[in-house]
Structures are given as C-alpha cells and as structure tokens.
Chain A
Amino acid sequence: MKVNVLAFGIAKDIFGGSSVDVELPQPGTTGSLKLSLEERYPRLKQLASYMVAVNNEYAADENILIPSDEIAIIPPVSGG
C-alpha cells in the first residue's frame, strides 16, 4: 500500500522535499513506516528522536495506517 508522508523542519532537509510517498507491505503500521523511512533515509536515525503524527495526533508504533491518513514526520520540536 502507498502512503504520503509530510515532512517538517530537519526532516524536510533529509527527505529533500516537503513530502514523500512510501510503499508499505500490508498491514502498514507507524512502526513499519519508520523502518522503511530509516532504510531509505539513514540520517533519520541520527536525530535525537522523532515522532509520527497521524491525522494530527501523535501515533504509537502499532498504529495501523490506511492510505487516506494524513501522516507526518515530527522531528524534535523547538517552539517558544
């Protein structure tokens, strides 16, 4: 299945764009998405940490993804 992943902050630099399409084996989960992104973009693993948001909510690794979800990579936040 294919999902579109939005990128912000340093993740946008790492992906070289504000979003990327990722092909995932069924059933796609947040955890499997992270693994496939880290394979394709090893620099992700050098970040202090990063989260995945699904439909504007932080998502746990076991969260099941569906193609219509709005998914985003959230590098360490630094507002304020």
Chain B
Amino acid sequence: MSPQSGGIDVFIGTVRDTTKGKPVIRLEFEAYEPMALKEMERIAQKTFSQWPVQKLLIHHRIGPLEIGEVPVIIAVSCAHRDAAFEACRYVIDTLKQTVPIWKKEIFEDGEVWVAAHP
C-alpha cells in the first residue's frame, strides 16, 4: 500500500475439492526453483513496463496442500483500478504458462500430473 495507490487487486488461488466432478484429496506442487524465480522476475519486469504498477507481489507455495489451502497469491497496486485488474490478470495467466511449477492431483484411486497429457 502506498499513498499514491488507488486500488489493489489481489488474486488468491485456493485448492478445490473436486476436478471434473471427481473428489480431490490434496494437491502436491513441485518447482524448478531457480528457473521459477527467474520466470517470475521476468513476468514482474514485463508487468512494470506495461502498466503503471506501484507494487507487485507474486507468491507461490510448493509441497503438499490440503483442500482450501492457498498455493498462489498475486497482488498488484496501482493508481487506478483498470491497470490493477489488467496487470493482476496478466501475472496469474502468464505464471500458469511459463513458470516451471507442476501440480499433481491426488485422488482416492491414484495421482495425476495436471496438463501433462492431452
């Protein structure tokens, strides 16, 4: 928060209890940490160059997460809400495409690496 900030847009991802109607027991996240941090940094720099962002937070957890827990938080503060909304959406969308983090869904009858297979 800063005195020039007119709006803070926060995205909080939470662990859902089902996937395509199938009950999920928990999620497990893994990261290629040095590269993940580098890609997050790249996303941050692009965000600062594209929108009048004052402050930006990108937070991601790894390891096992239970239903309802929070794997990811994005927070963006700007003078005006349009930029805050757009930048926040850009950051989470891009993180899901380029940051080397992987999510495994644990079910009663097995485990699935999300997005691995067509």
Partner of B102, one of A9, A48, A56: A9
Q: How far is the CB of A49 from chain B (nearest CB, A)?
A: 9
Q: Which of A9-30 contact B (CB under 8 A)?
A: 9-10, 13
- A75 contacts partner chain B, Cβ-Cβ < 8 Å: yes
Q: How far is the CB of A24 from chain B (nearest CB, A)?
A: 21
> A75–B38 Cα gap in the complex (Å)?
17
Q: Are A80 and B92 in contact (CB under 8 A)?
A: yes
Q: Are A48 and B101 in contact (CB under 8 A)?
A: no
Q: Are B100 and A77 in contact (CB under 8 A)?
A: yes
Q: Which residue of B lies closest to A79 (CB)?
A: B101
Q: Are B32 and A75 in contact (CB under 8 A)?
A: no
Q: How far is the CB of B92 from chain A (nearest CB, A)?
A: 6
For the A-B complex, the count of residue pairs with Cβ-Cβ distances under 8 Å equals 80
Chain A residues with CB under 8 A of B113? 9-10, 13, 75, 78
Residues of A within 8 A of B (CB): 6, 8-10, 13, 46-48, 53, 56-58, 72, 74-80
Main secondary structure of the interface of B (DSSP, over half): mixed
- B76 contacts partner chain A, Cβ-Cβ < 8 Å: no
Partner of B116, one of A9, A57, A58, A80: A9
User: What is the size, in residues, of chain B's interface with A at 8 Å between Cβ atoms?
Assistant: 29
Q: Count chain B CB atoms within 10 A of each CB in A48, A75, A79 and give the residue with the most.
A: A79
Q: Are A9 and B30 in contact (CB under 8 A)?
A: yes
Q: Are A48 and B116 in contact (CB under 8 A)?
A: yes
Q: How far is the CB of B18 from chain A (nearest CB, A)?
A: 17
Partner of B115, one of A48, A58, A72: A48
Q: Are A53 and B35 in contact (CB under 8 A)?
A: yes
Q: Count chain B CB atoms within 10 A of each CB in A13, A57, A76 and give the residue with the most.
A: A76
